[in-house]
Amino acid sequence: MPEQLKRLFPLFAIFIIIFLIIRHLLIPDTFGLYGHYRGDALKDNANIELVYASKEACIECHSDIREMLEMDEHSDISCLSCHGPGLEHVENPETANIEKPGSREFCGRCHAINPARSTNMIIQVDIKEHHAEKKDCIDCHNPHQVWEIKE
Amino acid sequence: MGNKGIKSSRRKFVKKTAAIAGTLVASSLIEPFKLLVYATEEPKDEGPWWGVGIDISKCIGCGLCAKSCKIENNVPEDPFFFRSWVEQYTVYNDGTVKVVSPNGGIDGFNQEEDKENIFKTFFVPKMCNQCAKSPCTQVCPVGATFETPEGITLVDSEHCIGCSYCVQACPYGCRYIHPESIVADKCTLCYHRLTKGIAPACMEVCPTGARIYGNLRDPESELVKYMKNNSYQVLKPNLNTGSKLYYNALSAEVI
């Protein structure tokens, strides 16, 4: 082997070692633990804080309303659909920190007339005309027991 | 001479092959080279393998899924950042198709159009398809987006460099660059809830059961039953993305 080639070998070796060191420093600790990604990323993603409570959380303290709901047409709807995230309330129930929307717009989200809505899934009313004598839907309908109509 | 030459070159060949094979095996034992080994490893067949089902015939377009997603996952308010949104398709009698998604549907829909002209209209909720062969993870230059062993495509926001290749690669438009952290962001199927055994926010609030999720490996799961009972379809099947978002009652107009 020619002398000049032999002299190149240490040089190459140094380059490769430097490359490996830099590579080692740049790659995060848990990279490649489960695949071509940082293993700790799974933990990071799992540790994000919840904002919405779970459906079951409300029943612990409000079982009466759950029972009421179950007896009528809104039985399949989660408390959270109407009352919003609610986790703040579960952790600190003494303060009234939860939404209670009962306006025509809110009920209209589901009940307003729209030809794209299947009538098998939902009964629709004209939210502007339907019993316009009272302002809000909950002035007549109990949101938890919709066929309990207040006079 | 000739015979000897062949012998010596064969010996050289065997020696070199042995050396290369030996180096590969030895280097695979060293931590930084684990990746080389991973490339040939098969995914393990245990634990859940999540998929999603959306029944268009049940969707009433209340938009609570889109709204709850924004709240749960701290998605910016602006009407062009979405992890989950709802579109309304309207097919007119003359064959034209209109797609609207006012504010992604987070405030609901109200359509006051002449019913006479409408051939057909329906809602299509959209979200990450949790592809098994994700085009978005393949283009990431730093390995910051990946499929978890549970079949969920996630973003490692600490490692992401915000190059937006994945945003362009997603054929379903399900990714965006978060304006605050300047990294890619997308639906995680609420990984932080799933791992605690709680339903994703959008499924939690859906009033009609139009959205379901389930373990595709469990023959008793709600999703598997739904798939057995319905003629489901995925979006853009021609792209072979291995989408795990199964739509029922999907019309040909939907893209």
Which are the contacts of B208, defined by CB distance < 8 A and separation ≥ 6?
A76, A121, A122, B58, B59, B60
Residue B219 has pLDDT above 50, yes or no: yes
Residue B43 has pLDDT above 60, yes or no: no
Of residues B113 and B251, more confidently modeled: B251
SS3 at position B50: strand
- Nearest Cα of chain B lies from the Cα of A150 at a distance, in angstroms, of 24
Tokens encoding B247: 């739509």
The CA distance from B224 to B242, in Å, is: 16
The mean per-residue pLDDT over the stretch B211-220 comes to 93
Q: According to the model, what pLDDT value does residue B166 have?
A: 96
Question: Domain containing A91: what range?
Answer: 55-139
Counting the structural domains of chain B, the total is 1
Residue B38 has pLDDT above 50, yes or no: no
Looking up residue B130, the CATH number of its domain turns out to be: 3.30.70.20
Helices (H), ranges, B30-108: 34-38, 64-72
Q: What part of A 65-124 touches B (C-beta under 8 Å)? A: 76-78, 80-81, 84-85, 108-110, 112, 114-118, 121-122
SS3 at position B91: strand
B199 CB neighbours in chain A (<8 A) are 54-55
The mean per-residue pLDDT over the stretch A105-119 comes to 91
Q: According to the model, what pLDDT value does residue B29 have?
A: 65
The pTM assigned to this predicted structure is 0.87
Q: Edge-to-edge strand order for the sheet containing B97-100?
A: B97-100, B84-92, B118-127
Residue B40 has pLDDT above 60, yes or no: no
Residue B89 has pLDDT above 90, yes or no: yes
Question: Domain containing B241: what range?
Answer: 1-255
Nearest CA in chain B to A123: B60
The CA distance from A25 to B253, in Å, is: 51
The CA distance from A32 to B159, in Å, is: 13
Residue B249 has pLDDT above 50, yes or no: yes
Q: How many CB atoms lie within 10 A of CB B253?
A: 15
Q: According to the model, what pLDDT value does residue B126 have?
A: 96
The CA distance from B216 to B188, in Å, is: 17
Decide if A36 is inside a domain.
no
Bridge-partner residues for B98, per DSSP? B90
Q: Average model confidence (pLDDT) for chain A?
A: 90
Q: Is there a contact between B62 and A52 if contact means CB atoms under 8 Å apart?
A: no
Residue B31 has pLDDT above 60, yes or no: no
pLDDT (tens digit per residue) in A40-91: 999 999 999 999 998 888 988 999 999 988 888 899 899 999 999 988 899 8
Q: According to the model, what pLDDT value does residue B36 have?
A: 47
Q: According to the model, what pLDDT value does residue B30 have?
A: 63
Nearest CA in chain A to B149: A34
Residue type, B59: C
- Nearest Cα of chain A lies from the Cα of B111 at a distance, in angstroms, of 6
Q: What part of A 19-58 touches B (C-beta under 8 Å)? A: 20, 23-24, 27-28, 31-32, 34-38, 41-42, 44-52, 54-55
Give the containing element (helix H, strand E) for A40. helix A40-46
Q: Edge-to-edge strand order for the sheet containing B50-55?
A: B211-215, B50-55, B245-248
Best mutation target, B88, B192, B206, to test chain A (most A CBs within 10 A): B192
Q: According to the model, what pLDDT value does residue B39 have?
A: 43
Q: According to the model, what pLDDT value does residue B132 have?
A: 92
Q: According to the model, what pLDDT value does residue B33 have?
A: 52
Residue B54 has pLDDT above 80, yes or no: yes
Residue A34 has pLDDT above 50, yes or no: yes
- DSSP annotation string for B195-240: TTT---HHHHH-SSS-EEEEETT-TTSHHHHHHHHS--B-SSGGG-
Nearest CA in chain B to A24: B32
Bridge-partner residues for B184, per DSSP? B177
- Nearest Cα of chain A lies from the Cα of B154 at a distance, in angstroms, of 8
- For residues B208 and B60, is the Cβ–Cβ distance under 8 A? yes
| Residue B25 backbone class (left: φ over 0; alpha: ψ -120 to 50; beta: rest) | alpha
The CA distance from A34 to B142, in Å, is: 15
The mean per-residue pLDDT over the stretch B78-95 comes to 93
Residue B175 has pLDDT above 80, yes or no: yes
Q: Which of B60, B64, B71 sits opposite A117 (nearest CB)?
A: B60
Beta strand spans in chain A (E): 141-142, 145-149
Counting the structural domains of chain A, the total is 1
% chain A with pLDDT above 70? 99
What's the pLDDT band for B41 if we cut at 50, 70, 90?
very low
- For residues B52 and B153, is the Cβ–Cβ distance under 8 A? no
The mean per-residue pLDDT over the stretch B49-72 comes to 95
- For residues A85 and B71, is the Cβ–Cβ distance under 8 A? yes
Helices (H), ranges, chain B: 2-29, 34-38, 64-72, 135-138, 165-169, 191-194, 201-205, 222-229
Q: According to the model, what pLDDT value does residue B116 have?
A: 86
The mean per-residue pLDDT over the stretch B223-251 comes to 94
Bridge-partner residues for B245, per DSSP? B52
Q: Is there a contact between B61 and A114 if contact means CB atoms under 8 Å apart?
A: yes
Residue type, B165: Y
